[in-house]
């Protein structure tokens, strides 16, 4: 029984949660049941002899932080424990957005809540809204404060009002906790720069190049083009400071337990605003060790689990998303392994699926996806994915080289092909993306671009070719259809629901020109949205309506709740990806054709996997029975079927 299960069991016995005293009893219960794990995690990171006092500071702090949580949120925590795994529900459908690029500011967003309801969105990932440096700030991922709302977005009162309004409307909120680094203007960084030794110890600071040079022998570079190297010289302190991301993002030194305790306080200030899911940004990087790549280290896992268990005591209704864009097998570790299963993050980005989907589009085949997804071990049953086709960042080509090799492909040549396909190097490719952070030393590179532009809509519209426009639309819907049905929370990037193209204006913006991820962070196009009902044949309308239909069907079928009820089939046609979701007697089969020509499936094979072909078997997307021709089921280019026997 993991800790979450234990608490669910304990609170299910006692119905009363309307008075503070009773709620406090639950807190005490949680503290008592988690204390030994918290203690062993803490002392696995921090030497017991040296830091025993810090441990007691932490325990006292748990109670203080609990006291700062509002009664309404304390009650909600218990309700969520009783309800079970709310985040696995088929009702969850997410959208990711930058508040300012979506509709100016927090109150602008609040006004648009009906837009989400119309489409069927009930989960929002808001990009950072707290204070940040003027000029370059990595879209707010350089943090000046973890709880002060940046005036450009509005006030704290407006933010709290938004969270309350969202709660009332049944909309869940996710915000980032930029746990790996602060900006160089954060109060600790300022004190460090002014010579304060204590705060210099909050970061990895060194008087000479000796240790930085040792680190550089094994640390990879994250932004090799715009921010090469992993250390920045600060003239004021006359020291080198570790900056794995941009030079203005200082890596926090979690070898110092004070940093952990202070960051826990910062985490709670975010959670106490009324946030439901906290995205742990760049969490793979939390622990640095000489002689290693300093990613996915066991100490990083212990630290994340320590955060998680403290959160479990203070605010068990709040859950964590792992932003670990790492190798497929390493992602799974963020759900917690062995003793830590269920005690790390509840959700992780399904970066493997994302990368595999883009591979399938470029190769027009589902074989690598089939092999990878069937051979990667399944996730724990209480965990779930965020399924996405793209986010605000680049698309990283995170494949398992062994699987690539087993396809008979050379990993480096495969990577080069995908980069060429998406970044304008192949004349026949309809994709319009940009190359992000190409590293000629190893051929690594990532891809940026909006979903619609990467899937060919930009090219098709420029050519004004109806056929190609239809293909692009079909691809956009097919890709979203997969993230809506494969199990987990689908996360749509704002604008993709109307096929928004690349935004090249970043090239004119001094603060963005060095970071072409801005090409895929367009302004929300309210003009187009206002015409959706009047232009039934326009690509934005077809995409919007198609998505809305798929979201509705997802929500109407509890089979789409994530209970590890997914079966992927080895389909005899390599272009078609086939899987089934099952709940009791209900089976829904999702078939997707990745080829640009019609592909067929034999009736015998359909029957062998349980798809019936009589009149009562329908495609839920169109509500029509399947149409077979000569005992074969044809799928048009990029067509998707959601088949239900009844």
- The set of catalytic residues is 281, 323
Q: How far is the CB of 231 from ligand OTU (least distance, A)?
A: 16
**DSSP β-bridge partners for residue 231:** 242
| Residue linked to tokens 């989907």 | 357
Residue 231 lies near ligand OTU (rule: CB under 6 A)? no
Residue 334 lies near ligand OTU (rule: CB under 6 A)? no
Q: Which stretch binds ligand OTU (CB under 6 A): 78-86, 96-104, 196-204, 279-287?
A: 279-287
Contact (CB, 8 A) for 461 and 530: no
Rounded Cα–Cα distance for residues 337 and 343 (Å):
9
Q: How far is the CB of 281 from ligand OTU (least distance, A)?
A: 5
Cβ partners under 8 Å of residue 407, min gap 6: 367, 368, 371
Which of 100, 119, 103 has its CA nearest to residue 111?
A: 103
Residue 399 lies near ligand OTU (rule: CB under 6 A)? no
Which of 596, 547, 514, 644 has its CA nearest to residue 118?
A: 547
Positions 245 through 274 that interact with ligand OTU (CB under 6 A): 245
Rounded Cα–Cα distance for residues 588 and 594 (Å):
19
Which of 179, 578, 178, 235 has its CA nearest to residue 374?
A: 578
Rounded Cα–Cα distance for residues 298 and 442 (Å):
27
**Which helix (DSSP H) or strand (DSSP E) does residue 419 occupy?**
helix 411-422
Q: How far is the CB of 324 from ligand OTU (least distance, A)?
A: 6
Q: Distances in Å between the alpha carbon of 461 and those of 426, 427, 455, 532?
A: 18, 16, 12, 18
Rounded Cα–Cα distance for residues 642 and 587 (Å):
10
Contact (CB, 8 A) for 79 and 339: no
Residue 323 lies near ligand OTU (rule: CB under 6 A)? yes
Residue 236, CA atoms < 13 Å, CB-side half-sphere: 11
Residue 596 lies near ligand OTU (rule: CB under 6 A)? no
Torsion from C-alpha of 381, 387, 391, 396, nearest 10 degrees: 80
Q: Which is nearer to ligand OTU, 393 or 400 (CB)?
A: 393
Contact (CB, 8 A) for 297 and 303: no
Draw the binding track, 189-228, toward ligand OTU (x: CB under 6 A; -: no contact).
Answer: ---------------------------------x------
Q: Which is nearer to ligand OTU, 323 or 458 (CB)?
A: 323
Residue 136 lies near ligand OTU (rule: CB under 6 A)? no
Residue 141 lies near ligand OTU (rule: CB under 6 A)? yes
Residue 496 lies near ligand OTU (rule: CB under 6 A)? no
Look at the alpha carbons of 508, 509, 511, 516 in this order and tell me if their dihedral is positive or negative: negative
Among 184, 393, 400, 496, binds ligand OTU (CB under 6 A): 393
E strand intervals along 562-646: 566-569, 576-583, 586-593, 599-602, 618-619, 624-625, 632-635, 640-644
- Phi/psi of residue 175, nearest 5 degrees: -130, 160
Cβ partners under 8 Å of residue 584, min gap 6: none
Q: Which is nearer to ligand OTU, 207 or 220 (CB)?
A: 220
Q: How many residues bind ligand OTU (CB under 6 A)?
A: 16
Contact (CB, 8 A) for 306 and 41: yes
Which of 492, 548, 502 has its CA nearest to residue 523?
A: 502
Residue 138 lies near ligand OTU (rule: CB under 6 A)? yes
| Secondary structure of residue 625 in the 3-state scheme | strand
Q: How far is the CB of 176 from ligand OTU (least distance, A)?
A: 8
Q: Which is nearer to ligand OTU, 141 or 399 (CB)?
A: 141
Q: Which is nearer to ligand OTU, 347 or 601 (CB)?
A: 347
Q: Which is nearer to ligand OTU, 139 or 540 (CB)?
A: 139
Q: Which is nearer to ligand OTU, 7 or 517 (CB)?
A: 517
Q: Distances in Å between the alpha carbon of 542 and those of 359, 501, 529, 598?
A: 25, 15, 12, 21
The angle at the Cα of 252, spanning 251 to 255, to the nearest 5 degrees, equals: 125
Q: Which stretch binds ligand OTU (CB under 6 A): 31-39, 278-286, 579-587, 606-614?
A: 278-286
Q: In 132-256, which residue ranges form alpha helices assigned H by DSSP?
A: 156-168, 187-193, 197-200, 210-216
Token duo for residue 28: 């005490």
Q: How far is the CB of 283 from ligand OTU (least distance, A)?
A: 8
Token duo for residue 104: 């100016």
Residue 282 lies near ligand OTU (rule: CB under 6 A)? yes
Q: Which is nearer to ligand OTU, 180 or 485 (CB)?
A: 180
Contact (CB, 8 A) for 124 and 173: yes
Which of 394, 138, 392, 393 has its CA nearest to residue 248?
A: 138
Among 281, 503, 596, 619, binds ligand OTU (CB under 6 A): 281
Q: Which is nearer to ligand OTU, 344 or 599 (CB)?
A: 344
User: How many other C-beta atoms lie within 10 A of the C-beta of residue 194?
Assistant: 11
Among 37, 121, 178, 626, binds ligand OTU (CB under 6 A): 178
Q: How far is the CB of 323 from ligand OTU (least distance, A)?
A: 5
Contact (CB, 8 A) for 194 and 186: no
Among 65, 124, 149, 284, binds ligand OTU (CB under 6 A): 284
Q: How far is the CB of 138 from ligand OTU (least distance, A)?
A: 5
Q: Which stretch binds ligand OTU (CB under 6 A): 6-14, 306-314, 322-330, 552-560?
A: 322-330
Q: Which stretch binds ligand OTU (CB under 6 A): 18-26, 70-78, 324-332, 424-432?
A: 324-332
Q: Which is nearer to ligand OTU, 245 or 358 (CB)?
A: 245
Contact (CB, 8 A) for 188 and 194: no
Q: Which is nearer to ligand OTU, 126 or 472 (CB)?
A: 126
Q: How far is the CB of 134 from ligand OTU (least distance, A)?
A: 18
Q: How far is the CB of 91 from ligand OTU (least distance, A)?
A: 26
Q: Which is nearer to ligand OTU, 90 or 281 (CB)?
A: 281
Residue 325 lies near ligand OTU (rule: CB under 6 A)? yes
Q: How far is the CB of 142 from ligand OTU (least distance, A)?
A: 8
Q: How far is the CB of 116 from ligand OTU (least distance, A)?
A: 22
Q: Which stretch binds ligand OTU (CB under 6 A): 89-97, 137-145, 252-260, 307-315?
A: 137-145
Q: Which stretch binds ligand OTU (CB under 6 A): 88-96, 266-274, 277-285, 594-602?
A: 277-285
Secondary structure (DSSP) of 61-78: HHHHHHHTS-HHHHHHHH
Draw the binding track, 32-71, toward ligand OTU (x: CB under 6 A; -: no contact).
Answer: ----------------------------------------
Binding site for ligand OTU (CB under 6 A): 138-139, 141, 178, 222, 245, 281-282, 284, 323-326, 392-394
């Amino acid at each position: 029984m993991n800790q979450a299960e234990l608490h669910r069991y304990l609170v299910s016995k006692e119905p009363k949660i309307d008075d503070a005293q009773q709620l406090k009893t639950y807190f005490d219960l949680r503290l008592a049941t988690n204390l030994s794990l918290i203690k062993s995690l803490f002392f696995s990171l921090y030497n017991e002899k040296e830091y025993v006092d810090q441990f007691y500071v932490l325990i006292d702090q748990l109670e203080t932080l609990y006291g700062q949580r509002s009664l309404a949120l304390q009650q909600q925590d218990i309700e969520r424990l009783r309800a079970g795994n709310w985040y696995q529900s088929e009702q969850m459908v997410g959208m990711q957005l930058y508040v300012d690029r979506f509709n100016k500011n927090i109150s602008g967003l609040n006004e648009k809540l009906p837009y989400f309801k119309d489409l069927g969105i009930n989960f929002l990932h808001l990009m950072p809204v707290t204070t940040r440096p003027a000029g370059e700030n990595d879209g707010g991922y350089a943090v000046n404060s973890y709880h002060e709302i940046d005036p450009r977005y509005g006030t704290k009162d407006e933010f709290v009002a938004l969270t309350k309004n969202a709660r009332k409307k049944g909309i869940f909120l996710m915000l980032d906790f930029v746990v790996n680094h602060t900006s160089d203007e954060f109060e600790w960084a300022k004190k460090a720069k002014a010579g304060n030794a204590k705060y210099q110890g909050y970061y990895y600071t060194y008087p000479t190049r000796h240790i930085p040079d040792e680190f550089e022998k094994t640390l990879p570079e994250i932004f090799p083009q715009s921010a090469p190297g992993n250390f920045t010289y600060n003239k004021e302190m006359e020291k080198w400071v570790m900056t794995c991301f941009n030079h203005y993002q200082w890596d926090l030194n979690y070898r110092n337990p004070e940093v952990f305790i202070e960051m826990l306080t910062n985490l709670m200030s975010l959670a106490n605003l009324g946030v439901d899911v906290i995205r742990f940004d760049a969490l793979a990087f939390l622990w640095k060790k000489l002689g290693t790549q300093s990613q996915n280290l066991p100490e990083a896992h212990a630290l994340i689990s320590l955060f998680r268990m403290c959160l479990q005591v203070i605010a068990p209704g709040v859950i964590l998303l792992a932003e670990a864009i790492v190798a497929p097998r390493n992602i799974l570790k963020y759900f917690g392994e062995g003793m830590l299963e269920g005690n790390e993050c509840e959700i992780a980005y399904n970066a493997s699926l994302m990368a595999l989907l883009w591979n399938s589009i470029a190769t027009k085949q589902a074989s690598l996806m089939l092999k990878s997804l069937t051979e990667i071990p399944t996730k724990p049953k209480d965990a779930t994915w965020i399924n996405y086709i793209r986010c605000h960042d680049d698309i990283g080509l995170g494949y398992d080289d062994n699987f690539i090799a087993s396809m008979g492909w050379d990993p480096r040549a495969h990577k080069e092909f995908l980069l060429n396909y998406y970044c304008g190097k192949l004349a026949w490719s309809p994709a319009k993306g940009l190359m992000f952070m190409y590293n000629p030393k190893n051929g690594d590179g990532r891809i940026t671009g909006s979903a619609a532009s990467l899937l060919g809509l930009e090219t098709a519209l420029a050519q004004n070719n109806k056929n190609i426009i239809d293909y692009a639309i079909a691809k956009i819907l097919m890709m979203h259809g997969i993230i809506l049905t494969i199990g987990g929370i689908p996360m749509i990037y704002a604008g993709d629901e109307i096929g928004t193209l690349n935004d090249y204006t970043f090239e004119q913006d001094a603060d963005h020109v060095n970071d072409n991820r801005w090409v895929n962070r367009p302004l929300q196009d309210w003009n187009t949205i206002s015409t959706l009902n009047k232009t039934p044949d326009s690509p934005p309308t077809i995409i919007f309506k198609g998505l809305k239909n798929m979201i509705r069907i997802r929500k109407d079928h509890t089979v789409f709740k994530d209970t590890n009820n997914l079966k992927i089939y080895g389909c005899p046609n390599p272009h078609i990806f086939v899987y089934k979701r099952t709940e009791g007697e209900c089976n829904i089969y999702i078939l997707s054709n990745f080829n640009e020509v019609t592909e067929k499936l034999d009736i015998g094979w359909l029957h062998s996997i349980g798809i019936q072909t009589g009149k009562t078997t329908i495609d839920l997307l169109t509500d029509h029975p399947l149409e077979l021709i000569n005992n074969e089921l044809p799928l048009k280019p990029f067509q998707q079927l959601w088949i239900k026997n009844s």
